[in-house]
């Protein structure tokens, strides 16, 4: 007696099954129909709330992913103000001699902010604010500093920063510094933000900055000095640094 698989109608069934398209195979699949039935039953049992949760699911997944990235890149540990003139700590932490301040925000490993560098002030007090962009690579901050001159972005220097695990300190080292604006191994201390107390509390933006973290010469004083030295011509004709005439008042 021949096995059942060798019967003529069995062979015809096998040949027909081989000719089915992929969607016909899916349509005939018991597993797929079981999954669809289970999904419909779940929606019917949970009502409108289940559909609402399904709509929220993509945004929640994205939010969770962003939170994981922030944790992975230690965003909170890098965010804030670091400078070489911090006085709120008991320990000096061997702060750098060069007046320098780095204020950055981090988002999923991307870094952006501003930097005060006394060397830039001495080069040209019209260059600040010095802007900073970079990213966190394997626990190290790699960024570059630039300034806008005449509406164009001008590269100043690039640097790397490492964060101490035992101290509230980051150490900056230049990577590419064609003008020699940053010395090696600059230690900056994390600023302790004062918590406002009462209605008369001063906001962080109104707190007095250390005098070393400001350019000793303003842009206007710089232009006036260049005019007196004869380096800058035509300043007087442009009306910079002089009182307006009676005709223009």
Domain co-membership, 45 together with 140: no
Domain co-membership, 126 together with 22: no
Query: Omega before 179 cis (within 30°)?
Result: no
Domain co-membership, 38 together with 83: no
Domain co-membership, 160 together with 106: yes
Query: For residues 228-249, b (16+ Cβ closer than 10 Å) or e, as one string?
Result: eeeebeebeeeeeeeeeeeeee
Please determine, for residue 170, whether its predicted confidence score (pLDDT) is greater than 80: yes
Q: What is the mean pLDDT of residues 44-55?
A: 59
Domain co-membership, 81 together with 165: yes
Tens of pLDDT, residue by residue over 124-133, are 999 988 999 9
Domain contains 225: no
- Give the alpha-carbon dihedral of 211, 216, 219, 225, to 10 degrees: 160
Domain co-membership, 83 together with 188: yes
pLDDT on residue 105: 92
Percent with pLDDT over 70 in the chain: 56
Least confident of 98-102, 190-194, 216-220: 190-194
Total number of domains in the chain: 2
Domain co-membership, 124 together with 157: yes
Q: What is the mean pLDDT of residues 1-19?
A: 54
Domain co-membership, 146 together with 97: yes
Domain contains 183: yes
Domain co-membership, 86 together with 158: yes
Domain contains 104: yes
Give the whole-angstrom CA distance, residue 179 versus residue 184. Answer: 14
Domain co-membership, 35 together with 84: no
Q: Please count the CA atoms within 13 angstroms of the CA of 19 that sit on its side-chain side.
A: 6
Domain contains 223: no
Please determine, for residue 190, whether its predicted confidence score (pLDDT) is greater than 70: yes
Residue 160's nearest CA partner among 149, 171, 147 is 171
Give the whole-angstrom CA distance, residue 144 versus residue 204. Answer: 26
Domain contains 226: no
Please determine, for residue 101, whether its predicted confidence score (pLDDT) is greater than 80: yes
Q: Which domain holds residue 149?
A: 77-192
Q: By the 8 A CB rule, do 115 and 102 touch?
A: yes
Domain co-membership, 86 together with 36: no
Residue 130's nearest CA partner among 97, 179, 96 is 179
Q: What is the mean pLDDT of residues 143-159?
A: 94
Domain contains 218: no
Domain contains 200: no
Domain contains 214: no
Residue 185's nearest CA partner among 167, 170, 173, 169 is 173
pTM above 0.85, yes or no: no
Residue 76's nearest CA partner among 111, 102, 115, 101 is 111
Give the whole-angstrom CA distance, residue 162 versus residue 173. Answer: 9
């Amino acid at each position: 007696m021949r096995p059942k698989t060798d019967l003529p109608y069995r062979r015809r069934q096998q040949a027909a099954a081989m000719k089915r398209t992929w969607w016909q195979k899916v349509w005939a699949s018991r597993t797929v129909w079981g999954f669809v039935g289970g999904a419909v039953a779940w929606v019917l049992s949970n009502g409108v709330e289940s559909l609402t949760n399904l709509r929220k699911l993509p945004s929640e997944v994205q939010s969770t992913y962003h939170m994981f990235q922030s944790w992975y890149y230690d965003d909170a540990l890098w965010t804030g103000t670091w400078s070489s003139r911090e006085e709120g700590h008991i320990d000096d932490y061997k702060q750098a001699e060069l007046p320098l301040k780095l204020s950055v925000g981090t988002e999923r490993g991307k870094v952006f902010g501003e930097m005060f560098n006394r060397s830039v002030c001495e080069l040209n007090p019209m260059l600040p604010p010095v802007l900073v962009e970079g990213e966190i690579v394997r626990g190290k901050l790699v960024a570059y500093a630039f300034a806008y001159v005449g509406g164009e972005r001008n590269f100043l220097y690039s640097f790397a920063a490492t964060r101490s695990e035992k101290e509230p300190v980051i150490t900056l080292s230049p990577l590419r510094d064609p003008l020699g604006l940053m010395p090696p191994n600059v230690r900056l201390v994390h600023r302790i933000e004062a918590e406002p107390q009462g209605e008369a509390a001063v906001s962080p933006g109104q707190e007095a900055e250390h005098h070393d973290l400001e350019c000793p010469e303003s842009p206007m004083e710089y232009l006036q000095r260049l005019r007196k030295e004869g380096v800058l011509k035509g300043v007087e004709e442009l009306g910079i640094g002089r009182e307006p005439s009676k005709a223009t008042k």
